[in-house]
Amino acid sequence: QEMGPESPDTHLRLALTGRDPDEGSTEIAYEKGALLHSLRLTHGDKLAAAKLLKVGKSTFYRKLKQYGI
């Protein structure tokens, strides 16, 4: 799967790296949605989900804890 500037995976990764979320959605809702979506795509594999979003595992786990996931 290719990751271009408009791909869903790019948007998920950007949500966790502090870049602007899509218009109309709050940053918190966008980040939480990105986390949940990545976990669904990886069937709950947290390390694979972090890799999918191209964030470190520590960042990924911190965000999970932050949002109670």
Other C-beta atoms closer than 10 Å to the C-beta of 33 total: 16
State residue 66's pLDDT score.
Answer: 87
State residue 42's pLDDT score.
Answer: 95
Burial grade of 16 (CB within 10 A; 0-12, 13-18, 19 or more): buried
Output the furthest CA–CA distance in the chain (Å, rounded): 31
State the pLDDT confidence band at 4, using cuts at 50, 70 and 90: very low
In the predicted model, is pLDDT for residue 49 greater than 90? yes
CA distances to 9, 57, 60, 61 from 47, rounded to whole Å, are 16, 6, 8, 9
Report the C-alpha gap between 10 and 5 in whole angstroms. 6
